[in-house]
Amino acid sequence: IAVVLGLTLRQNKSEFKSTFLSRCEKFNQTDCQKVWDAFEQAYVNKDPCKVAVEAYDPLIVAAPFKPQCNRMMFWSKTKDVVHGFTEKRDCFVTLEDTLLGSVLDGLTWCGKEGSKGTFTTGCPGWSECENNPVRSFWRRISAAFADVACGDVTAMLSGSIDTPFNPTRKKAPAESGSGRGICCNRLEDSTKDMLWKTARDNNIFASIEVVRFQASRIKSLNVVMVLQQNAKSNCTDPSLKNLRQTLDTGITYSCKDVPESRIQECGAKPEIACGACW
């Protein structure tokens, strides 16, 4: 009976929690159940559109970020190329290589009022309502990661968009309402499209990370502009002047245009030294 019971209990543990714990166990000396408990309290038994960024504060306390000076890599709109590179080389550490970032990368979750459960379907989309569990999580941990950044910091930005550094945020019509459901299902496709676009413009790198970079910890910010064929922008883009001006005085800024193919080549060839990639 005990065996049968053990089996049912294990099967009842949600697939989400299993994924969380198994990804977490890869990090040594971590009490993953403690991290899970701190994570879960942020959204369980709450309206999934009312999870504030601060709800994850206890999670950051439970699993603090360790500064990795000179190796920290930030990115915006370049997820695939960055991770294609960091997967193969250990020159740099992205948020997705840290405990919290790797455990939740690619996952969706939310709670429900009056329930102790974690759900993975029926959760609000990224821009359906601002204070959803997934978006608030990424905002909170991005801020914590930026808070500990130190030494020479790298950021990969995209040359495939018109404005590689874009802190501005226009409110989409559906967002001025109270949230999801009633508003969003009735939206015209063109409005949905706009909602998506403005949400993409609300980029975490510009609005959360850069503003937290402290000159007392950070020596330089080195931007790598990732250029694909038919690039729309490069290091000369006016938006990067904004980035320079936003930076705490005392942090040296540099920018380098690098073809995407060169980043891929450097990922594939360990004989190229990290410092010689670009």
Which residues are near ligand ZNA by CB under 6 A?
74-77, 79, 94-96, 105, 126-127, 138, 142, 196, 199-200, 203-205
Parallel/antiparallel/unpaired status of strands 151-158 and 73-76: parallel
How far apart, in whole angstroms, are the C-alpha atoms of residue 210 and residue 145? 11
Return d(Cα 94, Cα 85) in angstroms, integer: 11
Least Cβ distance, residue 34 to ligand ZNA (angstroms)? 23
**Which residue, chain included where needed, has tokens 């910010």?**
221
Q: Cα dist. 145→83, 87, 174, 226, 265 in Å? A: 17, 19, 31, 22, 28
Alpha-carbon gap, residue 61 to 102, rounded angstroms: 17
Least Cβ distance, residue 75 to ligand ZNA (angstroms): 5
Q: Whose Cβ is closer to ligand ZNA: residue 96's or residue 175's?
A: 96
Contact between 131 and 52 (Cβ < 8 Å): yes
Residue 92 Cα distances to 12, 156, 234, 235, 275, angstroms:
38, 11, 22, 21, 11
Consecutive H or E run containing 157: strand 151-158
The smaller minimum CB distance to ligand ZNA, of residues 189 and 271, is found at 189
**Alpha carbon distance 274, 143 (integer Å):** 26
Q: Which is closer to ligand ZNA, CB of 118 or CB of 132?
A: 132
Nearer to ligand ZNA, 50 or 79 (CB): 79
Q: What whole-number distance in Å separates Cα of residue 35 and Cα of residue 103?
A: 10
Closest CA to 225 of 70, 72, 76: 76
Q: Which is nearer to ligand ZNA, 70 or 272 (CB)?
A: 70
Give the nearest distance from C-beta 255 to ligand ZNA in angstroms.
17
Least distance in angstroms from the C-beta of 191 to ligand ZNA: 14
Residue with Cβ nearer ligand ZNA (74 or 109): 74
Smallest distance from ligand ZNA to CB 19, Å: 14
Nearest approach in angstroms of CB 30 to ligand ZNA is 19
